[in-house]
């Protein structure tokens, strides 16, 4: 019988380096064009800026070659490109804020980026095999609950724009919900891969739809209650929607049952309707969404639609090609460097530039899903799917709020928006996707089978020895 040999996958490091140089050029180009358009001169430190970024890119490539040699060559450059574009826009807004006497955040954001990339590298170093995270499934579940409860603690939690999602320790502030996106994805993946057979068992058939058994509804009811608790105590519709949507999507992927999607919508919809009537903050956001152009709503002292309307006008003024870096007026929109940074980019880069940014997001999400398809274990498939869907849902919710497709939620665009918690969360997500893609693209003869309970973080030789013993 003839045998077929499969050529091993080759790391495309040259391709990745070229993509990385293009990614760096995007951020540097935005920084240089902003200064030229506003002052008429090339930035004096442009050369130093370029050298530093190229050195960082080379270090990142070398580190990737050592820690994850078979990882997808597109994931890291896209992440760097989005981060660079965000830094350029924040710097551009800072130039206007300085003239208006407002606080600037560019330096802090640069520090946050450094911290985020460092933490991602540390995570990639210690988590040598994503399957080791499955051992701590319930640990991540408990950690998620603790992080969600932190903003509710008196004296620790801080209320901002009607939502209580921040904690403050002296001069430092953080949003625990950003990290919970990752810990919950790990918990959901570990739980569902262990229980998907029970959850996939069909129950009664009603109106042509195969519903699950009543005793299998416990997990989705529990997560639904957590989502309701977030709505009640934190008054944060965006985080509640993100977490519940993440679980329902992963549940659908694990079981391939459309009924879970219908049950999820059926559970979440009445909860939102109740929140609109019970919590003024949520009701105001829906009123702004539905009546943004109403003069009374626009000029209201509390619950004004001015921010949303100005953002829409800014996007419209950008047209197809935009006003150009530094030549628009995005600073007129409140929190233009955070919640409305996509609106700021649409004004100065136009519909074409915004579409290009959305395409970068789309490619990044597609690469995450490709890693989910290619990886050989169920836990990795669910984890990569959950992390990719989390990015997709967050981008949709942010863009949908800015364009009045859905109400504003307060979520921020990954990699682009100002804020340390969001940046750290985004880069930790990338670290896990890189690790999973490395496992997915690694040749089968180099792929170490994982024996439950035998793998320690970063201890690949131990795992290999245990696996060989199990096979013998």
Position 259 pLDDT exceeds 80: no
- The answer on pLDDT for 457 being more than 50 is no
Q: What are the tokens at 374?
A: 């290619």
Query: Is the pLDDT assigned to residue 5 strictly greater than 60?
Result: no
| Confidence at 454, pLDDT banded by 50, 70, 90 | very low
Tokens for 353, please give them. 């530039």
- 469 in a structural domain: no
Residue numbers of the domain that contains 209: 13-441
Instruction: Tell me the pLDDT tens digit for each residue of 107-145.
Output: 889 889 989 988 999 999 999 999 999 999 889 988 888
Residue 449 has pLDDT above 60, yes or no: no
The stretch 247-273 carries a mean pLDDT of: 82
Contacts of 134 (CB under 8 A, 6+ apart): 189, 190, 193, 379, 452
Domain membership of residue 453 (yes or no) is: no
304 belongs to a structural domain: yes
pLDDT given for residue 209 in this prediction:
63
* Backbone φ and ψ of 98, nearest 5°: -60, -40
- Asked if residue 209 is part of any domain, the answer here is yes
Indicate if the pLDDT at residue 461 is higher than 60. no
Number of domains forming the structure of the chain: 1
CA atoms within 13 A on the CB side of 212: 26
Evaluate if residue 434 carries a pLDDT over 90.
Answer: yes
Examine residue 460 and state whether it is found in any structural domain, yes or no.
Answer: no
Cα dihedral: 201, 203, 206, 208 (round 10): 30
For the cut 70, the answer to whether the pLDDT of residue 332 exceeds it is: yes
CB 432 within 8 A of CB 387: yes
pTM equals: 0.87
| Share of residues in the chain with pLDDT > 70 (%) | 83
Q: Is residue 8 part of a domain?
A: no
pLDDT in tens, 29-80: 888 998 888 888 887 777 877 787 777 777 777 777 788 888 999 999 999 9
Q: Does residue 462 belong to any structural domain of this protein?
A: no
CA angle 402, 408, 414 (to 5 degrees): 70
State the average pLDDT for the chain: 82
pLDDT at residue 203, as a whole number: 63
Q: How buried is residue 270: exposed, middle or buried, by Cβ count under 10 Å (0-12/13-18/19+)?
A: exposed
219 found inside a domain: yes
pLDDT of 3 reads 44
């Amino acid at each position: 019988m003839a045998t077929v040999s499969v050529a091993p996958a080759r790391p495309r490091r040259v391709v990745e380096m070229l993509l990385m140089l293009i990614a760096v050029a995007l951020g540097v180009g935005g920084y240089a064009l902003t200064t030229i358009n506003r002052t008429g001169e090339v930035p004096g430190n442009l050369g130093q800026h370029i050298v530093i970024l190229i050195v960082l890119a080379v270090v990142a490539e070398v580190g990737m070659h050592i820690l994850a040699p078979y990882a997808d060559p597109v994931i890291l450059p896209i992440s760097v490109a989005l981060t660079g574009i965000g830094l350029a826009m924040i710097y551009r807004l800072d130039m206007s804020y300085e003239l208006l006497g407002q606080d600037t955040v560019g330096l802090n954001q640069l520090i946050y980026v450094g911290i985020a990339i460092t933490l991602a590298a540390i995570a990639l170093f210690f988590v040598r095999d994503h399957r080791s995270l499955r051992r701590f499934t319930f640990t991540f579940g408990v950690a998620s609950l603790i992080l969600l409860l932190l903003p509710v603690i008196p004296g620790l939690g801080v209320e901002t724009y009607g939502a209580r999602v921040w904690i403050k320790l002296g001069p430092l502030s953080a949003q625990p919900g950003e990290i919970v996106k990752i810990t919950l994805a790990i918990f959901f993946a570990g739980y569902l891969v262990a229980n998907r057979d029970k959850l996939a068992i069909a129950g009664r058939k009603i109106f042509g739809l195969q519903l699950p058994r009543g005793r299998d509804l416990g997990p989705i009811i529990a997560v639904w209650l957590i989502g309701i608790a977030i709505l009640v105590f934190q008054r944060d519709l965006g985080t509640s929607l993100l977490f519940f949507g993440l679980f329902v999507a992963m549940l659908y992927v694990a079981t391939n049952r459309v009924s879970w999607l219908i049950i999820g919508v059926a559970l979440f919809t009445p909860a939102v309707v109740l929140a609109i009537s019970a919590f003024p903050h949520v009701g105001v956001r829906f009123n702004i969404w539905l009546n943004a152009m109403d003069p009374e709503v626009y000029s209201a002292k509390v619950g004004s639609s001015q921010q949303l309307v100005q953002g829409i006008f800014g996007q419209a003024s950008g047209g197809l090609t935009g006003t150009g870096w530094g030549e628009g007026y995005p600073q007129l929109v409140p929190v233009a460097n955070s919640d409305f940074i996509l609106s700021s980019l649409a004004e100065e880069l136009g519909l074409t530039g915004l579409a290009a940014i959305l395409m970068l997001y789309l490619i990044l999400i597609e690469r995450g899903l490709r890693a989910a398809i290619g990886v050989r274990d169920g836990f990795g498939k669910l984890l990569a799917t959950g992390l990719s869907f989390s990015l997709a849902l967050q981008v949709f919710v942010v863009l949908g709020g800015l364009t009045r497709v859905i109400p504003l939620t307060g979520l921020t665009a990954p990699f682009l928006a100002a804020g340390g918690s969001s940046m750290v969360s985004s880069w930790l997500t990338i670290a896990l996707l890189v690790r999973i893609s490395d496992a997915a693209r690694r040749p089968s003869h180099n792929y170490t089978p994982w024996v439950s309970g035998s793998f320690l973080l970063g201890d690949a030789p131990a795992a290999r020895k245990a696996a060989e013993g199990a096979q013998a």
